[in-house]
């Protein structure tokens, strides 16, 4: 949790307060299937705490944690989606970010060639 703010939905998942289909769980990072999948494989990878609201803040403040997040994403894609995947960080509400606790979407499995959607 950051400051006195309410815990984010992802912090509540990390604490076990909201159930999720977990696929990775490390000291600093968790990953779980998105509740509303946009691809055959759609996993959210996020730090346990909401210290950084988006990838820009995370990259500036803790590049090692960002690298670890990407590494966890790659491992998930190798396990669930033949190692090829799209890694999406929605950054800001106008870009579709709804949870202001940095996270990556790992999208894979049967994505259309050339598709950006």
Tell me the closest approach of the beta carbon of residue 24 to ligand 5GP, in angstroms. Answer: 13
Q: Which of 42, 101, 103, 105 is catalytic?
A: 103
Is 33 one of the annotated active-site residues of the chain? Answer: no
Here the tokens at position 4 are 């006195």
Nearer to ligand 5GP, 34 or 68 (CB): 34
Q: Where does this chain bind ligand 5GP (CB under 6 A)?
A: 9, 18, 20, 32-36, 44, 90, 96-99
| Rounded least distance, CB 23 to ligand 5GP, Å | 11
Least distance to ligand 5GP, CB of residue 97, Å: 4
Active site residue ranges: 103
């Amino acid at each position: 949790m950051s400051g006195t703010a309410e815990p984010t939905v992802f912090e509540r998942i990390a604490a076990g307060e909201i159930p999720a289909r977990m696929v990775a769980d490390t000291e600093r990072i968790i990953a779980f299937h998105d509740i509303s999948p946009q691809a055959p494989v759609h996993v959210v990878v996020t730090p346990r705490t909401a210290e950084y609201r988006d990838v820009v803040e995370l990259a500036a403040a803790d590049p090692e944690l960002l690298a670890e997040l990407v590494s966890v994403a790659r491992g998930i894609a190798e396990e669930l989606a033949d190692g090829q995947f799209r890694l999406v960080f929605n950054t800001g509400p106008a870009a579709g970010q709804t949870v202001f606790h940095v996270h990556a979407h790992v999208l894979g499995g049967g994505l259309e060639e050339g598709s950006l959607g």
